[in-house]
Amino acid sequence: MPASTTTSQRELLRTLPGDDIRQILWKFADRFDLQMLVQSVRAVARGPVARLVAQGGRLTHDWTPEKNALLAEYDAAGITAAFMKPEEGGYLEGPKNLALSLIAFEIAWVDAGAATGSMATHLGLAPIHERGTPEQRAHYMSVCAPAPGQEPKRAAFALTEPLPYVGVETGLLSGKVRVAEWPEGGEPLLEVSKRGRFITGMGFANIVSAAVESDDPRLHGTMMVILEEGDPGIFDRGTPTKKLVHQLSSTSDPVFQLKVPASRIIGGYRVVDGRIVPNYDHGAIIEAVFRRTRVTVGLITAAKLLSAVEPLIRYHRDRFRGSGAGAPGSPRYDLGLQQKEDVTHRLLDVWATGEACASLGFATARLFDDLDPIEKEKDRVLAEQGITGGMSMVKALRKRSVEAIEYLDQRSRSEALRNKARYSALAADPVIQYLALDAQANVLCPATKLWNTGIGSRMMREAVSLMGGYGITEDCPGFLGYKWIDTQLEATYEGPEAVQRRQLSLTMTSEVFLAQFRTWIHEMRRVAANEPGTGACTLASAMHLWVWTLEHLQQAKDANGQKLYQSNRQGVTFPMADALCWLLASRCQILDVQRLRSEGAGAIQEGFEGTVQFLTDLCHIQASRAAGEVSRICSELVFGYLRHPSWDNAPECSTCFKEEELQQIESIIPGASGFTSEYLMEDGTHSTKAGPCVRAEGLGDFTKLRSKLDGCLAGALLAKDRASESLQKVMIPAALDYPQ
């Protein structure tokens, strides 16, 4: 049995990857501010949060004093203020996407609900942060920043409404806003009426960003409005939601009927022809918010998958110890369930998925950190040209996308083949930089949310099942059962899977993104050339197959003459979005391990080679899994909309041989008839084989790409066997570092 008897000559993984490895993999080795934040948050997660879970804190829907006490822990550890700028009471300079992702990751390592709860205020403030006026930002950020002697205010984000209103479809708003008073020359007073459903943080929030629609001819369109506890009217937190998940966060269905000044419209307003026109509608605000906050949600699931590794190895190894059936030193004693190949192989699948989730999520977070300043710079440059937003901005950007594609093309070339002057000019242009990064961000964000939570959820179930019956008890080490069910919320809130797939189906066909994607195929081929056996070659072939399929589907029609790639054909667009996510996650994982390979050698003093080899094997395992998924999805879509040939359809029988023809052929070349597919018997019927075979005209290229991809899978399962050996031998701590 390979798992227990193979002994490879290569270095094996000696200990679980530590912080030093993770800092290089996720590219924050030079950010000591973030490294400290990680330690600070970890102490809260594995201390007070873990203790509360172990004490049964999750077993009630109510927002208890014990749950509430965690808020002060979050404040003290710097979690609350991590969202703010130093001048607002924060302490981290620059964009904060990676910082917030690391926070979410660390807390979710123990409990995802605590991660959600710790960042509820961030979500509530995000509309103000992204689109608020400078005054709104300065005020609300600073009142929510913890300061000595000041209890910080907490915020909530209220978009979702009771049925039949806002859910996946965010346009069906029932929350209304009217003008209550408008004194001559003065600030209008608005009357806001909003009911929320499943609103996070409502057990304690004092500030709410609420999405509402005008119910008054003097107000234009939709908007988000800031509501405060203490505003005149009703601020009812509602009863706690009887949720089965994320019990350390607070969720309820609040009711608001409040009078607020118009200055609470997020982003401000103009008065046009006697009407109040908000500068941003609610759609524009939630888009700006979710495109950042969804990344952190994806990392919550990633953390849980990786957190399952240590408890599972320990459970498997210790499974039979003390039974008397295996003395110390016997394989049964030392390896326990790890003697069984399926156990190690399935755990490797969980681990590889966790690595890919984390790599995708952190890469996306870093991308937003890069994008944020460039977006501001782009706005500044365009404003100088008199372009300040709305359709004029869209048009201006669209016009320049050809140059962005040119830039990507130049960038992918070797220096010798580049037009240096042109490349430097494009690289120095913030609009071009923005277009290139934005096209990626528009894909990577929904991909992180969709893939990490969706596939992560399935793999979390796998982790639970590897713990046997223990997995579905409250006593399970590492709280794996809770972590599994919690993934369903991560896949649902901030836009369920359908929303992410819908967004991807649009953004992944952007020419700028596709130009980028094509350069990534070459990038993976280069990695494969230097480091064969990393899965990069498999992935490149799978990426090629995906692009080919997308281009084909965009042109092709089904058997009824209907266009295949169109927005209401979710059966086509959604699976293509799923397939893309597998590729993106695997690519990020391979790139992270490449970084470790090149940057870690000097920094990591012991066990480096074994760690890199093991993580490379996980890349290979994951790439082959991704290739399999992509191959299946693409084949199904390419062939699935062709009409299956039938015997009744005369033209389709035109190439069938007749039985007597075959007999003649046989008499000349015995055995040759075996190469024919269909034939007609003397009585005009067909043989009773499975059915007529499809002739796929024009799909020869697809078939070639697919069979090439099959060949690329070589070595993937050898990588798995090798990694299995590491799993059996890796040293783990004596006990988990948080209570059960």
Partner 1 sequence: MAYQIIVCGGLAPDPLQTLEPVATPAGPALKNEMMLPAVFDPWASHALYEAAHLARQHAGSTIKVVSLAPKAKLQQVMMTVAQKLPFELVPLDGPGGGFTDAASVASALAGAIAAIPGLDKSQLLVFGGWESATRGAGVVMQMVGEKLGITEQFLAVDELKVDAGGALVIKERVEGGRHQVSRCAAPPAVLAWATGNLPEPANHPQTGMANMRAMMPALQKAKAASLASAITYAEVALPAVTRQTRIVKDVPAAEIAREIAEWIKQ
Ligand X SMILES: Cc1cc2nc3c(=O)[nH]c(=O)nc-3n(C[C@H](O)[C@H](O)[C@H](O)COP(=O)(O)OP(=O)(O)OC[C@H]3O[C@@H](n4cnc5c(N)ncnc54)[C@H](O)[C@@H]3O)c2cc1C
With binding defined as CB under 6 A, does residue 175 bind ligand X? no
With binding defined as CB under 6 A, does residue 339 bind ligand X? no
Nearest to ligand X of 64, 570 (CB atom): 570
Tell how far CA 313 is from the center of its chain.
26
User: Binding partner of residue 251 among partner 1, ligand X, none, CB under 5 to 8 Å per kind?
Assistant: ligand X
Least distance (Å) from ligand X to the CB of residue 344? 35
Using alpha carbons, select from 46, 115, 34, 43 the residue that is nearest to residue 82: 34
Using alpha carbons, list the distances in angstroms from residue 319 to 51, 518, 521, 727: 25, 48, 44, 15
Least distance (Å) from partner 1 to the CB of residue 21? 9
User: Binding partner of residue 493 among partner 1, ligand X, none, CB under 5 to 8 Å per kind?
Assistant: ligand X
One-letter amino acid of 344: T
Cα separation, 359 vs 591, in Å, equals 9
User: Binding partner of residue 737 among partner 1, ligand X, none, CB under 5 to 8 Å per kind?
Assistant: partner 1
With binding defined as CB under 6 A, does residue 496 bind ligand X? yes
User: Binding partner of residue 168 among ligand X, partner 1, none, CB under 5 to 8 Å per kind?
Assistant: ligand X
Cα separation, 508 vs 130, in Å, equals 24
Least distance (Å) from partner 1 to the CB of residue 600? 11
Site for ligand X in 557-576 (CB under 6 A): 570
Cα separation, 231 vs 245, in Å, equals 32
| Cβ 46 vs Cβ 54: under 8 Å | no
Q: Residue 150's beta-bridge partner residues?
A: 147
User: Binding partner of residue 8 among partner 1, ligand X, none, CB under 5 to 8 Å per kind?
Assistant: none
With binding defined as CB under 6 A, does residue 158 bind ligand X? yes
Q: Which residue is nearest to ligand X (CB)?
A: 167
With binding defined as CB under 6 A, does residue 199 bind ligand X? yes
| 279 backbone dihedrals φ, ψ, rounded to 5° | -70, -25
Least distance (Å) from partner 1 to the CB of residue 23? 9
Which two tokens mark 350?
């969980």
With binding defined as CB under 6 A, does residue 407 bind ligand X? no
Cα–Cα–Cα angle for 244, 111, 153, nearest 5°? 90
Using alpha carbons, select from 477, 55, 74 the residue that is nearest to residue 307: 477
Site for ligand X in 244-283 (CB under 6 A): 246, 251
Least distance (Å) from partner 1 to the CB of residue 611? 8
| Cβ 666 vs Cβ 672: under 8 Å | yes
Nearest to ligand X of 96, 197 (CB atom): 197
Site for ligand X in 217-246 (CB under 6 A): 243, 246
CB-neighbour burial class of residue 738 (10 A; exposed 0-12, middle 13-18, buried 19+): buried
| Cβ 356 vs Cβ 589: under 8 Å | yes
Least distance (Å) from partner 1 to the CB of residue 37? 5
Binding footprint of partner 1 on the chain (CB under 8 A): 14-15, 18-20, 32-33, 35-40, 43, 76-78, 91, 603-607, 731-737
Least distance (Å) from ligand X to the CB of residue 208? 10
Cα separation, 440 vs 517, in Å, equals 9
Least distance (Å) from ligand X to the CB of residue 249? 7
The Cβ of residue 502 has, within 10 Å, a number of other Cβ atoms equal to 18
Nearest to ligand X of 63, 702 (CB atom): 63
User: Binding partner of residue 200 among ligand X, partner 1, none, CB under 5 to 8 Å per kind?
Assistant: ligand X
Cα separation, 241 vs 251, in Å, equals 6
Pairing of strands 155-158, 207-214: parallel
With binding defined as CB under 6 A, does residue 489 bind ligand X? yes
With binding defined as CB under 6 A, does residue 63 bind ligand X? no
Instruction: Count how many residues are written for the chain.
Output: 740
One-letter amino acid of 518: R
Q: Which of 167, 254, 267, 478 forms a contact with ligand X (CB under 6 A)?
A: 167
User: Binding partner of residue 495 among partner 1, ligand X, none, CB under 5 to 8 Å per kind?
Assistant: ligand X
With binding defined as CB under 6 A, does residue 548 bind ligand X? no
With binding defined as CB under 6 A, does residue 210 bind ligand X? no
Which two tokens mark 453?
């939570």
Using alpha carbons, list the distances in angstroms from residue 572 to 162, 186, 395, 548, 552: 31, 54, 29, 14, 12
Stretch that binds ligand X, among 378-386, 495-503, 510-518, 555-563 (CB under 6 A): 495-503
One-letter amino acid of 304: K
Least distance (Å) from partner 1 to the CB of residue 172? 42
Q: Tell me which residues touch ligand X (CB under 6 A).
A: 157-160, 167-169, 198-200, 243, 246, 251, 489, 492-496, 498, 570
